[in-house]
Amino acid sequence: MWGLDTIIPWTPSPPGIQIELIAINALRDENELVALIGSANSGPQGRYGLVGIPSKTTIVDKDGSNLDEALPIDQRLKVIALGYELGRNWVHLDPKPGPAGQPPGFVFEFENAIIVDHWKQLYTLVGKPNATSDKLTDSLLPPHHPLSPPCTQPIRLIPTVSDAEHSRRIELTQDHIAAGDIYQANIARRLEVSGELCGIGAITALSRINPVAHGAYIKWGEFELASNTMETLFSYEPHNRRIASFPIKGTCERVGNESPESPRAKELLATPKERAEHVMIVDLVRNDLGRICEPGSVQVPRLMGLEGYKGVWHGVSTVEGKLRPEMELSDGIRSLFPGGSITGAPKRRSMELIQEIEKEPRGFYTGSIGLITPQGYANVSILIRTLIKDDNGWGVSVGGGIVWDSNSEREITETWEKVSVFQSALRPEKNESKTDRRKNGKIGLSQTRDSTGSNTANELMSKAASKLSRSAAGSTIS
């Protein structure tokens, strides 16, 4: 896989079991842990998942000066995590620190990792046999650690900025639009989590009720992040140098599993305000890509398509181009980060006003997390719908794009629509019988049989463990 040695060969994922969730629950006591949690139903961006214990962690400097040094295309898997404030450097604004307890950014390297292919429903363990690969293997072998609940008592999301103050900020943004400073800005507020929250339990619950392309979990000492984001900042394919961004703009409530033909969904696509807001950001992303792509290669093959998630409909476009020969992956990051959908247009002035209006730093909220393979393939998210634990405890931020004709009451309602997935997921687990737990996929792999009844997951993993012991003796499994 990606030119890396194989320790456990490709193995079928048992029906109803998500390998990333089994692994992180077993590895929950590790001081550092990283997981990218994909989904088969989220297009190419959600195809691959990863679980790993970093072999090296680089803290990105607040001015981003060491990013190139930490991102050479070599023979190791990498995961980058970038805080929003890093982007100030790349639009020529003065550096600003993030929230207390949140580093500016990370570059994680992995000698070993569990890789999941959600399209083929297979998983593998790559790297060289060592103590870390043993831990990763053990995380997949029965008996399994029970899946952690997100909380044992009800929790609440409490805004740190009142509705009245948030409304005032929206109106202040509109004053700047009327004055010609900007066309649009994304204004956010933070919600504190009141109550005891388990980060691994939270990402487990979120992934189960709202599968997305870019689920993610990071643990770094006392810092934790659990993201249920569906937005892709960009993907990059080195074989053809295609770089594509997938901006989200335009939101309305989605009730249950209603279809794209529902009146709500159709109204979202037809509302002039929502379309104007969306097209502004598509134009901004076209401009960002135009700085690094070959002339004439930037195209918009999909304009404001409709995508449905837990509680919301979103408008999503595809903007793509061909990276110029002299440009590298890091140039793509600098040009596109932070995403236009969570800053505004024009980007630089919007980011200045966001700092003035919101006052508090954002940190990893509206930053990015992404996978970089040894060949230079990249798949990078925008961190919306993301729980973060720092020195201030657990919190989740939420915002929306403000334009000249935005209605502050509607914008505040939209913030609650966007966090409805957390209100659904972050609940104490009800007592269940063992039969119910098996039906709901909460029993470990050893207690799940495939549809043919020919191999239990226990047998599959035992075979993998046998091959692992042979590999440790000196042979490489291909």
Catalytic site residues? 231, 249
CA atoms within 13 A on the CB side of 339: 29
Q: Collapsing DSSP states into helix, strand and coil, what is residue 255?
A: coil
Q: How far is CA 258 from CA 40, 312, 413, in A?
A: 20, 10, 20
Task: Please tell me the distance from the alpha carbon of residue 172 to that of residue 150, in angstroms, as a whole number.
Answer: 37
Q: Cα separation of 152 and 391, whole Å?
A: 22
Q: Are 144 and 36 contacting, i.e. CB atoms less than 8 angstroms apart?
A: no
Its sign, for the CA torsion 161, 165, 167, 172, is: negative
Cα Rg of the chain, angstroms: 22
Residues β-bridged to residue 194: 156
Q: Please state, in angstroms and rounded to a whole number, the distance separating the CA atoms of residues 318 and 304.
A: 8
Maximum Cα–Cα distance across the chain: 71
Half-sphere exposure of 116 (CA within 13 A, CB side): 25
Whether residue 167 contacts residue 220, with contact meaning beta carbons closer than 8 Å, is answered with: no
The DSSP code sequence of 321-341 is: EEB-TT--HHHHHHHHPSPGG
Which residue bears the tokens 């919190």? 395
Distance of CA 30 to the CA centre of its chain: 21
Structure tokens at 386: 């993301």
Contact 250, 315 (CB under 8 A): yes
263 prior amide bond cis, ω within 30? no
